[in-house]
Amino acid sequence: MSNALIVHGGAPTAVINASLYGAVTEARKHPEIEHFYAAIGGSGAVLKEHFLDLFTAPKEELELLLHTPGSAIGTSRDPLETEDYDQMARVIARHNIRYVFFTGGNGSMDTCGKVYQACCRAGVDVNVVGIPKTIDNDISVTDHAPGFASAARYIAETTAEISQDVRGLPIHVCVIEAMGRNAGWIAAASALARSGDGDGPDLIYLPEVPFDEDAFLTEVERLHREKGGVVVVASEGLRKADGEPIVEPIFQVGRAVYYGDVSAHLANLVIRKLGIKARSEKPGIAGRASAAYQSRLDRDEAVEAGSTAVRAAVEGKNGVMVGFRRLPGEEYRAETILIPIEEVMLHERTMPREFIAENGHDVTQAFIDWCRPLLGEPVRRYVTFKNRPLSVD
């Protein structure tokens, strides 16, 4: 008998714990796994050997993982050097760990791949498998990653609610800031808020398209003249044509860049240069921590990603990440696949051109059709009588 180890890396999501649940429950089915260790606190916890055997957790607590946001075992963005990976290989061997799982995005898959390589160098007999996780949906090869759909549903539902508020009192421009450093998937998903009745978002700005301040102000002024209230969704990673961010980064730690408020910057531009009342909304981490807006499909696929990873490792697969491949047909169906870890290590997937509208500040129907089923449930619809013809009996 041997042991297994799971590690969470990077920012958590609304369903990362669902993948943890899938991995633990699947591992219980395999008698060759004696202990299922969780690194308590991310990759640095492996070096410190801060492990908890999840086989000792009560069943009722494990069930709560399905609806618990954040990371129940902690996570981190620990900077690691070559000697750290070599030390991880020694720790893995010392604890008789035969199966290792890393749950995370691009950076965590890079860590996963380097741990795999370190174990190969050290001759440690271990199977290393990655479990995808990211709200940004920027992992290569896989159709989408667990975590994105719940973040997409959150931004769509939030935008729909804000749009309804603005329609009721159409006196200002509201700028909603969406997460997504270099990829506009989350901002784009706000388009699912539209009911077809003239509600927002009116403008969507993605980091894949260079931001033109003058064009932005022209569009806002036109829409404000036509509608009164305007709803704008802007990605936190907007850049100008020269590649510089529209708001200077406050500071950077490794790959993590911390920007000033893009939404506040754009709202201030509207106030100062157009003389129009404007306000900014920045849901921030609320968009990745919302269990209330968790997509059922996202949760189910997160569970499947965890259980598939364990089955793959027990079957002898090594140096791979679980991914999803969408199947053809009118109804949404997807299957899990195994992707060589080298193909996803720090490879960033941005919005393809066919998903971005020609005007550069909206999305196409192709994106809507791709994204809609991932939300799991339709975005809630609202009623407004404001624009209907008046009638008196």
Residues labelled as active-site residues:
136
The residues pairing with 249 across neighbouring beta strands, listed in sequence order, are 259
Q: Does residue 179 sit in helix, strand or coil? A: coil
Q: Does residue 66 sit in helix, strand or coil? A: helix
CB contact at 8 A, 122 and 86: yes
Q: Which residues does 315 contact at the CB level (< 8 Å), separation at least 6?
A: none
How many other CB atoms are found less than 10 A from the CB of residue 64? 13
CB contact at 8 A, 179 and 135: yes
CB contact at 8 A, 32 and 126: no
Residue 390: DSSP 8-state: P
Q: Do strands 97-104 and 2-8 pair parallel, antiparallel, or not at all (unpaired)?
A: parallel
Helix, strand, coil percentages for the chain (3-state, nearest 5): 40, 20, 40
Residue 274: DSSP 8-state: I
Token digits of residue 320: 């791979």
Distance CA 247, CA 262 (A): 6
180 is in an annotated binding site: yes
Prior bond to 201 cis, omega within 30?
A: yes
Distance CA 241, CA 303 (A): 41
The residues pairing with 36 across neighbouring beta strands, listed in sequence order, are 4
179 is in an annotated binding site: yes
134 is in an annotated binding site: yes
Q: Do strands 256-259 and 249-253 pair parallel, antiparallel, or not at all (unpaired)?
A: antiparallel
136 is in an annotated binding site: yes
Distance CA 140, CA 343 (A): 7
Distance CA 227, CA 224 (A): 5
**Angle at which helices 296-314 and 16-27 pack, to 10 degrees?**
40
- Residue identified by tokens 């696929």 is 301
Q: Does residue 127 sit in helix, strand or coil? A: strand
Distance CA 171, CA 23 (A): 50
Annotated binding site: 106, 134-136, 179-181, 236
Annotated binding site for Mg(2+): 106
Annotated binding site for substrate: 134-136, 179-181, 236
